[in-house]
Amino acid sequence: MLVFDTICALATPPYKSALATIRLSGEKTLDILSHIIVKDVSQIKPNMAYFVKLYQDKNRPDEMIDEVVLTFYKGPKSYTGFDTVEFSTHGSMIVVEEVLDTLVKYGARRAQKGEFSAQAYFNGKMDLLKAEGINDLINATSKRAKTLATKTLSGENTKFAISLKTTLLDYMSRLEYFVENQYDDEQLDDYSGELNQIGTSLKTNILEVGEIIEKTKKANRQYQGFNVAIVGEPNVGKSTLLNALLQEDKAIVSPIPGTTRDVVEGEKEINGLLFRFKDTAGLRKTDDYVENLGIERSYKTMEKADLILLASDCGFNDIDANKEVQNIIKNKPVIKIATKRDINTSSDLADISICSTTDALHPLIDLIMSKLDLTQKEESSFLGKREEEYLERIHSQMKQAYDAIYDTYQIDIVSDTLRTAINSINDLMGKCEGQTMEDIYQTLFSKFCLGK
């Protein structure tokens, strides 16, 4: 992949639609344009829309491809930093393919996924935190996920990373002053005082990064959404509960125990968050081969769940005696639901008692929100697993530097560990020293959409 090739791609979904947007970006953009429109390209002003006829060859007006609206963004004031043109064509895939073939004929190359963002990154138009924020926004599947992704675009994450880097650089330069003067007796008294001061400030920085990591973890969980398993013995009303939560007739309900065999799942946005509810086969001892396969899936679904709704219509004694269930739920949030409140007395062991066929489920939803620690909207300027991993790395390197101050009083060790932390901050922002463009593209931008 050569980032600085002139590239083209469809930027809207590849289906028949009213309009389609095609992007062309790179140094040859205007040259390519000069072959396919009659208008003199030197007269085309940036950021203005032009209604033009697009030709396979402007000298052969019988071969018009489409009438389009084109907008020209002059580099470096464009998304990619290169001259860029966006064509808004009629949304036929035949038209789109013809435009792309024509752009390729005059020197463009079909872009790979995320290559426009890669151009922007390598052209210094944005750092990785911003590029990933844009991708997170495109992939958001709930209102909350969208809000979290938008927050990462504000640039607060980059500001924080730069300010932390500046602080650590300041500590390093103060330490290096002492390294240079360490044999000067007059300086020795100041030595431990200065080191202590740096240690105290570093501790505050470590706490701050720790808090940011916690917020990032919460934001990541909220961005991904939550897997909620509905589990219990047969016929207790699990499928009825799934249908009530989804407000949809998704799973088969019947009075015959063992009705649900496979995992039945559905997504629902609640309070702006995405929940994936999974109804499972009722847990019981049985000789039925297929039902046992379903029960195995129930256990696997429980293992992967973020929250378990444990349903029972006759107290929880039997399910509490099920060692396999207890083993899985001991480290997970669980809500014990007494079902069929209209015909049964609730158990003392239940967290909530419901009738899925008639009750409004708000109390259960409130309980789900509090069990998953979702009652407060967490703000985070960082989002994404890569960010979380780098922040943890930086955090542990800062802690190593702190420990080195008090364990060894060895300035060079403190200074070295701070330097490693600074390198990790650079990597977090996307400096990625020692990595080739291809490595960076493969690990990051190849996950983006085509045309982005």
Ligand X SMILES: Nc1nc2c(ncn2[C@@H]2O[C@H](COP(=O)(O)OP(=O)(O)OP(=O)(O)O)[C@@H](O)[C@H]2O)c(=O)[nH]1
CB of 301 to Mg ion, least distance (A): 13
Q: CB 345 → Mg ion: shortest distance, Å? A: 23
Nearer to Mg ion, 218 or 278 (CB): 278
Give the one residue of 75, 133, 199, 282 binding ligand X; rule: CB under 6 A.
Answer: 282
Owner of token pair 């002139």: 6
Count CB-CB contacts under 10 A for residue 310.
Answer: 25
Residue 340: CB minimum distance to ligand X, A? 4
Per CB under 5 A, the list member of 56, 84, 205, 239 interacting with Mg ion is 239
The smaller minimum CB distance to ligand X, of residues 89 and 235, is found at: 235
Centroid of chain to Cα 426: 20
Residue 235, phi then psi, degrees to nearest 5: 70, 15
Is 7 a binding residue for ligand X by CB under 6 A? The answer is: no
Site string for ligand X, 230-259 (x = CB under 6 A): ----xxxxxxx------------xxx-xxx
Tell me the helix, strand and coil percentages in the chain, rounded to 5.
50, 15, 35
- Give start and end residues of each alpha helix (H) in 140-184: 143-152, 156-180
Q: Is 322 in the site for ligand X (CB under 6 A)?
A: no
Do 222 and 148 meet the contact criterion of CB atoms below 8 Å apart? yes
d(CA 82, CA 87): 16
Structure tokens that stand for 417 in this block: 């560990």
Read off the tokens for 148: 């979290």
**Does residue 417 bind ligand X (CB under 6 A)?**
no
The residue among 181 and 259 lying less far from Mg ion, judged by its C-beta, is 259
The verdict on 315 binding ligand X (CB under 6 A) reads no
Quote the least distance from Cβ 93 to ligand X, whole Å: 44
Beta strands in 202-287 (DSSP E): 226-232, 264-270, 273-279
Among Mg ion, ligand X, none, residue 126 binds (CB under 5-8 Å by kind): none
Please tell me whether residue 301 binds ligand X under the rule CB under 6 A. Answer: no
| CB nearer to ligand X: pick between 355 and 437 | 355
For ligand X, which residue of 355, 367, 413, 449 counts as binding (CB under 6 A)?
Answer: 355
CB of 142 to ligand X, least distance (A): 27
Q: How far is the CB of 263 from ligand X (least distance, A)?
A: 11
Q: Which two tokens stand for residue 52?
A: 């033009």
Interaction between residue 243 and Mg ion (CB under 5 A): no
Q: State how beta strands 64-73 and 84-91 pair.
A: antiparallel
Q: Are 84 and 29 in contact (CB under 8 A)?
A: yes
At residue 387's C-alpha, the angle toward residues 382 and 390, to 5°, is 130
33 binds ligand X (CB under 6 A): no
Please say which residue, 111 or 230, places its beta carbon nearer to Mg ion.
230
Q: Is 342 in the site for ligand X (CB under 6 A)?
A: yes
Cβ at position 213, least distance to Mg ion in Å: 40
Q: Does 260 bind Mg ion (CB under 5 A)?
A: yes
For residue 9, give every residue at least 6 positions away whose Cβ sits within 8 Å of its Cβ, in sequence order, or none. Answer: 22, 23, 100, 110, 111, 115, 116, 450, 451
The one-character DSSP state at 68 is E
3-state secondary structure of 411: helix
| Contacts to Mg ion by CB under 5 A | 238-239, 259-260
Residues that bind ligand X (CB under 6 A): 234-240, 253-255, 257-260, 282, 339-340, 342-343, 355-357
